Structure formats: structure tokens, C-alpha cells
Amino acid sequence: MAHWGMFRASASGGEITEVHPEAGDASPSQVLGNVPGSVRHRSRITGPAVRRGWLENGPGPSEKRGSDDYVAVSWDELTDLLAAELRRVVDRYGNESIYGGSYGWASAGRFHHAQSQVHRFLNCIGGYTRSVNSYSTGATSVVMPHVLGAHWQMFSRSTSWDVIADNTDLLVAFGGVPVKNTSVNHGGTSNHPTEGALNALRARGGKIVTVSPLRDDMTGSATWLAPIPGSDVAVMLGLAHVLVTEGRHDTGFLDTYCTGYEKFERYLLGAVDGVAKSAAWAAQRSGLREDEIVALARDMSSRRTLVTVTWSLQRIKNGEQAPWMGLTLAAMLGQIGIPGGGFGHGYGSMNEPGLAPVPYPLPTLPQGHNPVATFIPVAAISEMLLNPGALFEYNGDTSVYPDIKLVHWAGGNPFHHHQDLGRLRRALTRPDTIVVHDPYWTPMAKHADIVVPSTTSLERSDISCTRNDPLLVAMQPAVPRFADSRDDYDTFAAVAEKMGCAQEFTEGRTSGEWIRHLYRQWQGYLRNSGVDTPSFDDFWRDGSVAMNTEDRLTLFEDYRRDPVKNALRTPSGRIEIFSEVIDGFGYEDCAGHPAWFEPTEWLGGERAEMFPLHLIANQPRTRLHSQLDHGATSQASKVQGREPIRMHSSAASARGIADGDVVRVFNDRGACLAGVVVDDGMLARVVQLSTGAWYDPVDAADTASMCKHGNPNVLTPDVGASSLSQGCTGQHVLVQIERYDEELPPITAFDPPQVIDRVRTPLV
């Protein structure tokens, strides 16, 4: 099982040679094609290693990170060094000075889940500074609990695809429903039903309107509206304005199920600032036609309509507004809680929304208790490292950035996920020590002082399952452990032993015993709820257990049925179109109701005079994030070895650029090369370059160096969505593009650094 689907692997000589998707999967992911050849790829870390400068000079800030050599050490030496350094940092600076947020997707599997392992371990040694929220839904996860009393429940208990296919007459999809993203589900998935559901909706006579700068955010027939990126809130306000001025809004629903609509309406109609957020006003900001907006609003109010907003729309500056305004628009239509109507968030962002949830808890490795209260919003990593002691705003509180001495990462790649990589590199010079566990020499591993070679999930046993999939799956190793790599669990157990907390960490179990234990614990829980499951041995032999799911859900059906008994977990118990709590925070960049804020990175502003193209840094079609970028599916998409950038023919020809050319994409933060694919299925001033090409600087010693491979995060802004959420804003960035006529530098991202073998090359 992988995050992108269930498969069987054929192997030979310690390597995966072929993968066969699960027979029941309606639409297996092409990302599976990256797996063959990945175990013994040259970018694997073959054994424990320590950065030469760190070994020679001891811990301390260093500008050599990212360009230093490494020294091969034994496992015993590595675990000695790691235990001693953790002990030194804890004794001298306290546990708060360890940053253990360790954000990232790692691999599927409940026991070997890298974040659970590193957090459990760090808790055993007294805790760590943690991170809160995700890069995925940073803004949503803070605003939605205030206004809807829910966050992840919106996805895991969303209206199911069957219900949509059977009932929705009009699907209005902001950000589309990009089927490419439904490849993936956190923790795995055994089926991919999205495309089939969209086709079933169409076959019933349902209509789809996709609102997105890219045509292919919707597959199959649909009406395509392409607003200027970042202008969706203006479009939604324009739609809302038509509803009110034509008396098409559902006042009964707003009175019974919502609070604060009147205050929002005053803003909408211009009573507050003298500006009516009319369809004409929206047309000016979005580039859509006024009559298109008016017609859509009328259409929406006369049929069973589902308004859905992808997560990408909140991964921008003021990202709270689009989902909040989408919800408000759906509330005005009055169909929330009715099958096939209402609101959705994240259809096409991940496979989970629209899939039936499992009604009981899943086997989980307990992470223990973290006595350190210090935290950061996850995307504030550089900010924290560069500004110890500085104050920051978050969700109504003012907190202080800690002074971090040691960064401990397992299962994530900040050079994939973070913005403004030049700034991240400067930030990573600051700590005394950086520890990275990864199977591969990722750019993050190449910035580590202590490099811990992990196994991949193909090399170990585990249990996988996720909250919206019926199958609990026995993951059995397909190949033996690669070279001198180890399971993260065994590494942590060895370090725990040296630090005197082995019993607390392992509870006396091997990894095999833990997997059996987690299964049995889960089985006991289910038995108490009257559900029988096979014995562990039968489960392991058969390969999976099918669980019950709650089929045919409609989001907030229960709330609609009885808004008192099933009150929402908001202060008012209702949908908060105006939130007294958020209003009370007094933020300039987030008001008490959804509102239009002019973006910083957008074509409507001054910055576009300097950088006239809007780059969409969205999720890659051909892989999960940076994982297996060297795999066949990912490599097949590259252009002259560079990540593909899609451009409209008019933007390309105006710059003397042809399909297949390599270009330099740049702004005042950085530059990267990319390979051009001309595509007219997008706005003329929009370009699209997905995340995930491994960061590959021309000069590894220079933090501002151009990335020759095509990582868009050398360009993106490192700023929080707002004082409320501080969410990641990596989706949008303004750039300029020129043809690159110089000799092409070779791609070196997948080459390991120089690793000195100490036996043969003694250090002086």
C-alpha cells in the first residue's frame, strides 16, 4: 500500500521490477509507475553518515550545510553521536530548543509512520517544540472551527460521490475537481471513484461549471470559467450580490441555521465601505464577464447546487476567505444538508472527500505526552529559525519563537514543502545540529549534520488503513532491507537505549510485536462495539480485512434535521457568517465575516508590472510531492530533464519561446530552469509549474543559486496567509520568464554527495 493506492509488487535482486494495481480499483494511479527501480536507486542513502564539518568542528551554526562532504560512520557511532548531542542540547538549552515538528507525508503504514515515531521518541526524552496545522489546509484548519465547528470532518464526512452523482444538478467547482489529485490519499486508498462519479452525474443530466485558470482542472465536459487567479472571493461575492438583489437568497435557512448574515449583507451591498460587491465589481477584478456571473447566480438558485472549493484556494494570502465565502454562498442558496446540494471543500484535492468513512478508530501508535507547550504554525519554520525571541500572532494569541538549537526531521522534505528556499537555506545555517532520517539523499538530507538512512515501506511489515477506506491492509515486505538502512523504529530504539529511556519507547516490543499488538488492541476495541474481526494470523495470511463504512452521507444532514440537538460546535451552535470571536481578534487581515482582500501576488496589482506572469505552483500529476521524482512516470514528463512548465502560446511566442525550450523563470526571490510545454487550455498570463522537482542549485554553496531542475519554491513567498492562521501561501507567485540559451547544466539532484569512507580516508 502506498499513499497513491494499493498494489502488488514483483521483485528480483532486491529491486521492484513491476507493480500491479489492486484489481478492485476503478482508476489506478499513474504514480504507481514510479515504484519500480526505486529501492536500489542511486539516490538511496546506503549507510549512516555525518557531515564532515560537524564531525570535525562539533555542533554549531554553519554555512557549509548543503555543500559539505559526508563521512560514513557505523550505526553504533551514529547512535552514540545522536544520543550525546540530544543529551547536550536538552541539558544545556532545554527540550524547547529541539524543533521536532518534522512535517511531511513520509509513507503509508500505521506503525512505521515516521512522524509518529519521531514524536513518540522525542516525548520520551522530555518533549520538543512542535508545529500545528498543515501545509495542505493551513488556513481552513484555523478558520473553519470558528465558523463551522469542524475542520477535517468536512472532508471525512463530506457528501459522498454516490449522493452527488444521484442528486446534484449543478456542480460549481472553484479550483475544478482535479482528478490528478485524487490519485492520492493520506495513508493509502483502495479505490479511485471520482472520475466515474463525475461521469455518472453528467449521464443523469447534471451540469458542471469549473472555475479555474486551468482547463484541465476538470476532466470531461464542463462549462469553463477562468478568473484571474486569486479573484475567486470577488466572483463569489458577485454571485452573492446577484442572489440578494434579485431576492434569490434563502432567508429561512439563513435565519434558522446561520448567525451574522445581516452584518455580511451590509458589507456585500456596500453599506460599510460604499462599494457594492456587484457582478460588475466582480467582473472588473476577475476578468469574467458580468453577464456570466449573473447567469451563473440565477442558475445556482434554481437547481440542486453543490458549491465546492479546492484546498488550493486557501493556500494563498488571505486563504481563509475563499472557503468561508464558499460556505456563505452555499448558505445563501439554502441547500446545506440536502442530498447533492450545499457545500464541499476538497473534492479533487485528495481522494478522501466523497468517500465513505469508517465509523470506528483505527490502530494507532501512541505518541505519548509532550510536556513542552511551545509551538509554531507549521509554515513558520524559517521565520522561527531566523527570529528567535520574536513575537508572532496566531489565532487570537501572541506567542514567542523559541531559540532552536537542534532540528530533528523524519518523513518530510522542507525543500519540497517550504517557500522561498533561499531564505530556508539561510535559516538552516542557524541551528547547532540538523538530524534527518530519510531513505533518500533528498536536498534536506544534504543539509543535515546527522544523516539517518531509513528503510522504505517496501522493505518492512506494517498495517495500513485510513479513515475513508474499507480496507485494513497487511503490508508485507516486497524486498529485503536495502544496504545498511534501518527502520526508523530500530534507530530510535537504539538511541533511546543510550539515553536511558528504552523501556518507555519500545515497551519491550520489537516492531513485529508492535504490529501484532496494535492490531489486537484495535480488535479488542471493535469487539466491545460488537464487531468481529479475524485473528491477527488470519488477517496477515489473507492480506486484508474489510471494515464497515457509513455509506451515502450528506454533509450536515443531521444539523439540518435538528439544529438544536445537533448544534454545530461553534459559539452560536450555528454556521457563523459573522464570527464574534474572529472579529474580536481585531486583525487587519481577517475580518469577522468573509471579505475581499486584494492579493499581493496577483495580476491585478502593481507587482505584476515587474513580474507579469502568474505562476500556479500546484500539486504534481506524476508523483506525490517530491517522492520518487526519479521514477519512470515523473521522468517521462520532464522536458530536457527539467520540470515541465505550461505556458499559453501567446505568452510563449511573445518571448520567442517554443514548445520544448528550456526557460529561466525568475523574480526577486530566486530563479529556476524549467522545460516549456505550450498549452492553450489556460489563461494567457498564467503559467503552471508543479511542486516536487528536487531542488538542484547550480552552485550548492550559494543560498541564492538558481535551481537548474525546476523547483518553484525558489520563487514563492514565505509569508503566512494572515495573522489568524499563518497558513502556507505557496500556491501563487508572480514571475517573469525568458528563454535560456546558455549551455544546459546537468541535473545532479539525484546524485549522492561525496561520502568519505573513514577506513580508507582517515580524517586529520
Q: Which amino acid is at 246?
A: E
Q: Which of 54, 267, 311, 401 binds ligand MGD (CB under 6 A)?
A: 311
Interior angle at CA 55, CA 434 and CA 389, nearest 5: 35
707 DSSP β-pair partners: 672, 697
Rounded CA-CA distance 500/1 in Å is 35
State whether the Cα torsion 650-651-653-658 is positive or negative: negative
Nearest C-alpha neighbor of 298 from the set 253, 245, 251, 341? 245
Q: Which of 164, 306, 410, 663 binds ligand MGD (CB under 6 A)?
A: 410
Q: Are 397 and 413 in contact (CB under 8 A)?
A: no
Residue 234 vs 545, nearer CB to ligand MGD: 234
Binding to ligand MGD by residue 211, rule CB under 6 A? yes
Residue 169 vs 217, nearer CB to ligand MGD: 217
> Least distance in Å: CB of 44 to ligand MGD?
10
Rounded CA-CA distance 372/101 in Å is 12
- Residues of this chain, 341-360, that bind ligand MGD according to CB under 6 A: 349-350
Binding to ligand MGD by residue 438, rule CB under 6 A? yes
Binding to ligand MGD by residue 627, rule CB under 6 A? yes
Please choose which of Mo ion, ligand MGD, none residue 631 contacts, taking the beta carbon within 5 to 8 angstroms, the exact cut-off set by kind: none
> Least distance in Å: CB of 29 to ligand MGD?
7
Please choose which of Mo ion, ligand MGD, none residue 730 contacts, taking the beta carbon within 5 to 8 angstroms, the exact cut-off set by kind: ligand MGD
> Least distance in Å: CB of 135 to Mo ion?
5
Quick one: which segment of 250-258, 270-278, 616-624, 648-656 binds ligand MGD (CB under 6 A)? Answer: 616-624
Give the total of residues touching Mo ion (CB under 5 A): 1
Binding to ligand MGD by residue 49, rule CB under 6 A? no
Residue with C-alpha cell 554549531? 60
DSSP state letter for 298: H
Please choose which of Mo ion, ligand MGD, none residue 625 contacts, taking the beta carbon within 5 to 8 angstroms, the exact cut-off set by kind: ligand MGD
CA distances from residue 456 to 112, 479, 607 in whole angstroms, order as listed: 10, 10, 44
Three-state SS at 137: coil
> Least distance in Å: CB of 729 to ligand MGD?
9
Is 224 labeled as catalytic in the residue annotation? no
Nearest C-alpha neighbor of 344 from the set 197, 476, 192? 197
Q: Are 32 and 140 in contact (CB under 8 A)?
A: no
What residues contact 500, with CB distance under 8 A and at least 6 apart? Answer: none
Q: Which of 29, 43, 123, 136 binds Mo ion (CB under 5 A)?
A: 136
Rounded CA-CA distance 422/415 in Å is 10
Query: Which residue is catalytic, options 4, 54, 70, 103?
Result: 103
Q: Are 694 and 750 in contact (CB under 8 A)?
A: yes
> In the stretch 93-122, what mask flags binding to ligand MGD with x, by CB under 6 A?
-----------xxxx----x-x--------
Query: Which residue is catalytic, options 4, 54, 105, 695?
Result: 105
Residue 137 vs 491, nearer CB to Mo ion: 137
The order of strands in the sheet holding 544-546 is 462-464, 471-475, 544-546
> Least distance in Å: CB of 324 to ligand MGD?
15
For the CA atoms of 38, 39, 40, 42, what is the dihedral angle to 10 degrees?
50
Binding to Mo ion by residue 183, rule CB under 5 A? no
- Residues of this chain, 222-261, that bind ligand MGD according to CB under 6 A: 229-230, 232
Binding to ligand MGD by residue 439, rule CB under 6 A? yes
Residue 184 vs 545, nearer CB to ligand MGD: 184
Q: Which amino acid is at 118?
A: V
> Least distance in Å: CB of 55 to ligand MGD?
21
> Least distance in Å: CB of 102 to ligand MGD?
9
Q: Which of 411, 431, 594, 641 binds ligand MGD (CB under 6 A)?
A: 411
> Least distance in Å: CB of 198 to Mo ion?
22
Three-state SS at 402: coil
Residue 215 vs 298, nearer CB to ligand MGD: 215
Quick one: which segment of 56-64, 423-431, 621-629, 639-647 binds ligand MGD (CB under 6 A)? Answer: 621-629
What does the block give as the cell for 648?
499559453
Please choose which of ligand MGD, Mo ion, none residue 100 contacts, taking the beta carbon within 5 to 8 angstroms, the exact cut-off set by kind: none
**Count of CB atoms within 10 A of residue 500's CB?**
12
Quick one: which segment of 477-485, 502-510, 613-621, 747-755 binds ligand MGD (CB under 6 A)? Answer: 613-621
Binding to ligand MGD by residue 213, rule CB under 6 A? yes
Quick one: which segment of 18-26, 54-62, 289-297, 615-623 binds ligand MGD (CB under 6 A)? Answer: 615-623
CA distances from residue 544 to 27, 202, 539, 541, 712 in whole angstroms, order as listed: 20, 34, 6, 8, 39
CA distances from residue 349 to 151, 217, 642 in whole angstroms, order as listed: 15, 10, 25
> Least distance in Å: CB of 599 to ligand MGD?
9
Please choose which of Mo ion, ligand MGD, none residue 311 contacts, taking the beta carbon within 5 to 8 angstroms, the exact cut-off set by kind: ligand MGD
> Least distance in Å: CB of 415 to ligand MGD?
8
Q: Which amino acid is at 189?
A: T
Rounded CA-CA distance 623/2 in Å is 12
> Least distance in Å: CB of 102 to Mo ion?
15
Give the total of residues touching ligand MGD (CB under 6 A): 63
Binding to ligand MGD by residue 437, rule CB under 6 A? yes
Binding to Mo ion by residue 141, rule CB under 5 A? no
Binding to ligand MGD by residue 454, rule CB under 6 A? yes
> Least distance in Å: CB of 259 to ligand MGD?
28
What residues contact 253, with CB distance under 8 A and at least 6 apart? Answer: 331, 332, 334, 336
Is 103 labeled as catalytic in the residue annotation? yes
Please count the helices (runs of H) and the strands (runs of E) in the chain: 25, 29
Three-state SS at 108: coil
Please choose which of Mo ion, ligand MGD, none residue 178 contacts, taking the beta carbon within 5 to 8 angstroms, the exact cut-off set by kind: ligand MGD
Within its chain, how far is the Cα of 633 from the centroid?
A: 21
DSSP state letter for 681: S
What does the block give as the cell for 459?
522493505
Quick one: which segment of 134-142, 210-218, 425-433, 591-599 binds Mo ion (CB under 5 A)? Answer: 134-142
Please choose which of Mo ion, ligand MGD, none residue 579 contacts, taking the beta carbon within 5 to 8 angstroms, the exact cut-off set by kind: none
Q: E-assigned strands of 321-460?
A: 342-345, 375-377, 391-394, 397-400, 406-410, 433-438, 450-453
Q: Are 615 and 749 in contact (CB under 8 A)?
A: no
Binding to ligand MGD by residue 310, rule CB under 6 A? yes
Query: What single string gives the DSSP state of each residue in 457-472?
Result: GGGS-EEE--TT-SEE
Rounded CA-CA distance 417/411 in Å is 12
Residue 624 vs 676, nearer CB to Mo ion: 624
> In the stretch 152-181, what mask flags binding to ligand MGD with x, by CB under 6 A?
----------------------xx--x-xx
State how beta strands 305-309 and 342-345 pair.
parallel
Cα-only R_g, the chain: 26
| Contacts to Mo ion by CB under 5 A | 136
| Contacts to ligand MGD by CB under 6 A | 31, 104-107, 112, 114, 135-136, 174-175, 178, 180-181, 183-184, 211-214, 217, 229-230, 232, 310-313, 315, 349-350, 410-413, 416-417, 437-440, 442, 454, 456-457, 488, 616-621, 624-627, 691, 712-713, 716, 728, 730-731
Catalytically annotated residues: 103, 105
